[in-house]
Structure 1
Amino acid sequence: MAHWNHRVIHKHHQQTDEHTYQVHEVYYDDNGIIDKWTASPVVPMGETPDELREEIRYFIKAFQKPVLIEASEGGKEKLIQDSENPEINNGHYFELLDRTWVAIDYIYMRI
């Protein structure tokens, strides 16, 4: 089933030799393979405070997955796992954050 999520994408800007990390929407095909992603990073927004809170929750979930980097294969752009940043969640801080979000989600669903 096709789906999407937020992911952190590492970009190396050749002209300035700068590296940036930004959150993008990444779209997957029916087989779970990355199909496309937003050209520009996304920013959290919502039409209500609840929608904004939910959007920020999606951003935080992006940090639970490996960083991606743009690569070219056969002249086609694709996203692959960034070998320089294999995982963001390598410490107990994010484990605590994960558990906190589970608790917040539980409370949020009951309110």
Structure 2
Amino acid sequence: LGSDTGGSVRVPASYCGVYGIRTSHDYVSKKGMLALAPSFDTVGWFARSIDVLQRVGDVLLPEPDSNAPTTPSRYFLVEDALTEKRTSPHAQCAAVAALSAIN
């Protein structure tokens, strides 16, 4: 387990050839965790296999809300994600095509 505020689980995992996951904010209790940036801190974990990653998630993550809609009722596109100078035109076209294909 680790805190993942700015990639503290995912980045080392990518360099070490293991899996790392960052959960959504407040999905996993941060009780007892030393806070770095409370509004950004989340719990994450490392695993050598997808199976272990999922098994840890089965223990830590809450059960899905059976009353929640199964599909989102709206989609939002963050415009600056496509206009940022670091995003190549090829990546922008691919993102627009993928988002347009969502029904």
Q: TM-score range by the shorter chain?
A: under 0.3
The structure richer in strand per residue is: 1
TM-score w.r.t. length of structure 2: 0.23
Find the structure with the greater CA-based Rg: 2
TM-score w.r.t. length of structure 1: 0.23
